[in-house]
Amino acid sequence: MKHRHLLLASAIAVATLALAACKKEAAPGTDTASSSAPAGETADQFVARINAEFKAAYPEMTSAQWLSSTYINSDSERIAAKANERSLTQLNSWIEQAAKFDGKPMSEDSKRAI
């Protein structure tokens, strides 16, 4: 019984953290600081920045998906859907930013990454 209470408390804590990570989305057409590339950024710097941003966002995404897979209900699915939506929005932004490097010289590693 004690183990069950600990598991329930852990699930509530994870759900609370996931909900706390949810924030109001910016209005369409507004640019956020994380979605704009610094001026004069090279392809190698771009890849390094995107990798760092992805690494920072990864725990939220995986936590939300784990919560949704483990505690199957509409609340956990909603949390996972919002996290997935944020992740895909960011991915689309990165793809748009990567287009400026199309046809420009860059290292082989950056070519593979982009």
Q: How many structural domains are present in the chain?
A: 1
Residue 34, domain member (yes or no):
no
Share of the chain above pLDDT 90, in %: 61
Residues with Cβ < 8 Å from 104, sequence gap 6 or more? 43
Query: What are the structure tokens assigned to 80, written together?
Result: 């996972």
CA 81: distance to chain centroid?
Answer: 12
pLDDT confidence tier of residue 94, bands split at 50, 70 and 90? very high
What is the domain range of residue 69? 2-20+42-113
Q: What pLDDT sits at residue 39? A: 82
The number of residues in the chain equals 114
Residue 14, domain member (yes or no):
yes
